[in-house]
Copies of this chain bind each other. A is one copy, B any other.
Amino acid sequence: MSFVEETVGYMIRRVQERMFAAFHRRFADSGLTPAAYATLATIDRNPGVRQGRIAEELGLQNSNMVNLIKSLVERGFVERHRSASDNRVFTLTLSSAGKLFIEKMNERALALDAEYTRSLSDEERRTLIELLGKMITDPQ
């Protein structure tokens, strides 16, 4: 219907919208936004990471991390401690409740990902991730 359908930009936007909606359907009862989930998953893999580093890695704004982290702490999933070596820094780790929680959420994320890539074969899904990875790691 329009030649925008032949551009990557438009197609990505459409797919992203659908995935966003699907995420909120699947994670509605979890109280997690995509950013909050990605933050938890990053802390899980990198215990002791500081919040500014997570923001850099995930492409989030540092200022927007504050309330995000605060809510994760209040829910008992994340622990914040002052760094011993640098008193400006808060190091972040998962509590045992947080570890249990992220395990369940990881399962859910994988199921969700399988759901909205169900029209792709396993190989196509891998190819898609690989091509998107090339675009992201391109220094621009």
Q: A3-15 CB contact bits vs B (8 Å, 1 = yes)?
A: 1111111111111
Can you list 15 A-B pairs with a CB-CB distance of less than 8 A? A1-B45, A2-B57, A3-B45, A4-B42, A7-B110, A8-B129, A9-B34, A9-B113, A9-B116, A12-B12, A12-B15, A119-B137, A127-B131, A128-B131, A131-B131
Known: A4-B38, A7-B113, A124-B134. 10 other contacts (CB 8 A): A2-B46, A8-B128, A8-B129, A9-B109, A12-B19, A120-B131, A120-B135, A127-B127, A128-B128, A128-B132
Does more than half of chain A's interface fall in helix, strand or loop, or is it mixed?
helix
Count of A interface residues, CB-CB < 8 Å? 56
- Closest residue on chain B to residue A112 by CB atoms: B9
Q: Considering the chains assembled together, what is the distance between the CA atoms of A114 and B128 in angstroms?
A: 18
**B17 touching A59, Cβ below 8 Å:** yes
Tell me the A residues contacting B by CB distance below 8 Å: 1-20, 23, 34, 37-38, 41-42, 44-46, 57-59, 106, 109-110, 112-113, 116-120, 124-125, 127-129, 131-138, 140
